[in-house]
Amino acid sequence: MSPQERRAEEPAGEIALLAAALAARLDRRRRRGTRRRPEASRPEGAGDPGAEGARPDGNGRKRAENAQETPENGQEQADFDTEAIRGRAAACPDLETLRSEVAACRACGLCETRTQTVFMDGPERARVMFVGEAPGADEDRRGVPFVGRAGQLLTDIITKGMGLERSSVVIANVLKCRPPSNRDPSRREKELCTPWLERQIELVDPEILIPLGRHASGHLLGSEASMGAMRARVHDLAGRRVVPTYHPAFLLRSPERKRDCWQDIQLAMAELDLGGDR
């Protein structure tokens, strides 16, 4: 009989073994970050950016009360750092490899509540790349960005407004996993996910980036400015043109802003020599 087995036969030894096992388990959980149970059943579409409750800030998402950094939204996933993710992203030679890496990513707490990662929609190379903030409930379920009502409006902008096939442009988000309850992503979650997006942009190599909404636009441009201050202009991002516009979910709630969006899209089209007004 091993010393361990002998100890387990004695009541005090058994308690000591249980305590050691519990301590090891707690340590593992602390290092992984706090686990969350999958969300309880939530009304259909509650996390959709176009759902009731989105605020008129030029963005598609509802501002949630729990948007500050808490263990529940990944702050304690301390085993990961942005540079390590950047290294893994940089090592991906193509989008399929990058997609697989993202699908396996557990860098922030959103991995605990996602159904699946939402990587992108579109071809491997495109002249235009739209970037939203994060997947909603429909996207999380289907694994495709911009589906549902806001997605349909974006499709109309692309097909009826720009005269392009949706399948000819790339659509992605800053975050690849859905924040629960449609809350705003935390700063840390965006930091951790950004290297994936940066590599994605490098590989797609679009001529024009069109960030949708204030959060995606501000994140890409490193700006705290309002949507009104960022839109209607062509920005430069490391030699790449960026034309921010409103999020389609915001346009569903504020249709009077569609005219502004159309101006931004025309600006992008002019930059691409697809017609449109500068």
Structure tokens at 153: 């409006």
| Cα R_g (the chain), whole angstroms | 22
Applying CB under 6 A, the span of 38-46, 59-67, 100-108, 157-165 interacting with ligand SF4 comes to 100-108
Helix extents (H) in 59-186:
82-90, 95-103, 137-142, 148-156
Structure tokens at 211: 């960030």
89 touches ligand SF4 by CB under 6 A = no
Name residues whose C-beta falls within 8 Å of residue 246's C-beta, 6 or more positions apart in sequence. 58, 212, 213, 227, 231, 254, 257, 260, 261, 264
- Pick from 129, 175, 201, 204: which binds ligand SF4 (CB under 6 A)? 175
Q: For the CB of residue 22, give the shortest distance to ligand SF4 in the complex, in Å.
A: 28
Name residues whose C-beta falls within 8 Å of residue 150's C-beta, 6 or more positions apart in sequence. 48, 49, 50, 60, 136, 247, 248, 249, 252
Report how many residues bind ligand SF4 under the rule CB under 6 A: 15
- Pick from 108, 120, 157, 249: which binds ligand SF4 (CB under 6 A)? 108
| 83: amino acid identity, one letter | E
192 touches ligand SF4 by CB under 6 A = yes
230 touches ligand SF4 by CB under 6 A = no
Applying CB under 6 A, the span of 20-28, 145-153, 172-180, 209-217 interacting with ligand SF4 comes to 172-180
Q: What are φ and ψ of residue 47, in 5° steps?
A: -95, 0
105 touches ligand SF4 by CB under 6 A = yes
67 touches ligand SF4 by CB under 6 A = no
117 touches ligand SF4 by CB under 6 A = yes
102 touches ligand SF4 by CB under 6 A = yes
Name residues whose C-beta falls within 8 Å of residue 273's C-beta, 6 or more positions apart in sequence. none
Q: For binding to ligand SF4 (CB under 6 A), which residues are involved?
A: 102, 105-108, 110-111, 117, 175-177, 189, 192-193, 196
